Structure 1
């Protein structure tokens, strides 16, 4: 692999606003391709031919596959007008995730990966998982977690909402959270009961809502009801373009890219653990007492099996 590429004959340095769709990206790359330096041609060729891999692979893996350095991919993205490689990659993620055949398309891609080597799927899922988690632990998110924990601790009641692919997130937050904070309530919305379940929440309360593309109508409806009652929303979603974001008091965007056929919830689950740990660490002593009491009750009721 060449470690350096010429800075001559590249895309113009005074790039216009970045293209907003995959078709526009491909058209600009194709038009500029003859004038690109050798290394940028390798990068552009890989981008044009492997949109799914660009969407879900780490930059290191894509660079290795294209036989260029990671900095070359960054330079290609910036020459197109993007501020960062991640912004560039979001165009590909949005395109791949769009449409009614999203899940079947990803399932087919899994079989393609599996045919390449015996362990390609295993390694690619691992790469995506580490990349997703790495993007969660930033200084900005650290401050945001502290603010969200303070909001949760000050709330009289906490509603937790998440349906379909994010129900596991909502359930985990409610189940684990209630051990220390009994004022947490999981909203299930069964049999059209959203309005009834949320009727008891008001201005002194908080709703924690989970939602990834494709966004569930029930989650949107729950947020509308909560906001109308003055409940303060904490939203955990996949992008700031999410329809769950408007009106949120605090928003977390978590990476959910994966070569698997369904969006990853790993980062969301990790964020839940961080938020609840922060609440216990900085909350009143009662929260620690609640955890100890819960464990004692479970053992007394025979909920755990001894390994002795």
Structure 2
């Protein structure tokens, strides 16, 4: 055991990054049970944050004492101090999220509306699958690529237009070089033709894949534009050739694929951009808010 300061990772990495790096480094030397626990921790950070140690142990197929030993192997005084790192990283109050889950479970015992519960279960599962160590690294890489781009095009049609619009509207507040591609009145090729190897395109597309989205990606690839693709499987026609690809869970009892995990991913990427971008980005956000309030775009409440 080391001092309390060992529980605080170096400033060059986030606390959760540090835990994942230390787990990866120690993994070859761990016992089989600790390896089982470490693998689960790295792949299910949301569960670590919000589940009890008993439920986490059951899901990981280990004993609670194994999780305690893993936390102490990383120099944490207890499992609770270990879990607090995950709770802080996902930035969601654990009582609120677990409270919602409990209410959904209670609703499941009622005979009148099981579909409501199924939608909730699918939503929680989709979000949980997003918060993995691999996706955390991809988010960091995507932010760096966006920050290095001269211009950013955002593409998503039909069901994923909501994703593209949200990315462009919110992102443009801090990054004025973001451009939403609309493809109206047959102008798709004209809108995309000005982007080249100095630029990045962010593309959203889930099955059933929109023909216009596939065409837009083909055009930008031909011009050397770097691609960040948000899709649902490596079999997606959008995946080949992408510099960074996110394969998101989007299952739902609803009749169309869920965009919940995509919207959450957008928030993570844009937050990362502001965190690691130049000071001018914060200034852009400040000016935007001041301008909106000055023109009366927001309703003030007492």
Task: Give the TM-score range, shorter chain.
Answer: 0.5 to 0.7
Match of 1:250 in 2: 244
SS at match of 1:298: helix
When the two structures are aligned, how many residues end up with a matched partner? 198
Indicate the structure (1 or 2) with the bigger Cα radius of gyration. Answer: 1
TM-score, normalised on structure 2? 0.64
The CA deviation at 1:162 is 0.2
1:161 to 2:160 alignment: no
Cα distance change of structure 1 residues 167 and 126 upon mapping to structure 2, 3 Å threshold: same
State the SS of the aligned residue for 2:112: coil
Alignment correspondent of 2:143? 149
Which residue does 2:52 correspond to in 1?
A: none
1:215 to 200, 205, 209: 209
Distance in 1, Cα, partners of 2:270 & 2:174: 9
Q: Which residue of 2 aligns with 1:133?
A: 127
Matched, 1:262 2:256: yes
Partner in structure 2 of residue 241 of structure 1? 235
Q: Secondary structure at the match of 1:176?
A: helix
Alignment of 1:1-308 (within 5 A): 117-308=111-302
Q: Deviation of residue 200 (structure 1)?
A: 1.3
* TM-score normalised according to structure 1 size: 0.62
* Secondary structure of the structure 2 residue equivalent to 1:131: helix
Distance in 1 of aligned mates of 2:238 and 2:226: 13
Query: Alignment partner of 1:208: what SS?
Result: strand
Q: By how many angstroms is 1:118 displaced? A: 1.2
Q: CA RMSD in A?
A: 1.7
1:43 corresponds to which residue? none
- Measured against aligned partners, the alpha-carbon deviations of 1:15-66 in whole angstroms (never above 9, x if no partner) come to xxxxxxxxxxxxxxxxxxxxxxxxxxxxxxxxxxxxxxxxxxxxxxxxxxxx
* SS at structure 2 position matched to 1:234: strand
What is the CA-CA distance between 1:262 and the residue it aligns to?
1.2
Q: What is the deviation of 1:71?
A: 9.7
Q: What is the DSSP-based 3-state SS (H/G/I as helix, E as strand, rest coil) of the residue aligned with 2:246?
A: strand
Give SS of 2:161's match.
helix
Q: 1:198 to 1:143 in 2, by over 3 A?
A: same
Deviation (angstroms), 1:117: 2.6
2:142 alignment partner, SS class: helix
Distance in 2, Cα, partners of 1:151 & 1:213:
26
Change (3 A) 1:136 1:300: same
State the shift of 1:119 in Å.
Answer: 2.4
Runs of 4+ in 1 over 4 A off after TM superposition: 69-72
Unmatched segments (≥5 aa) in structure 2: 1-57, 62-107
C-alpha distance in 2 between matches for 1:169 and 1:152: 17
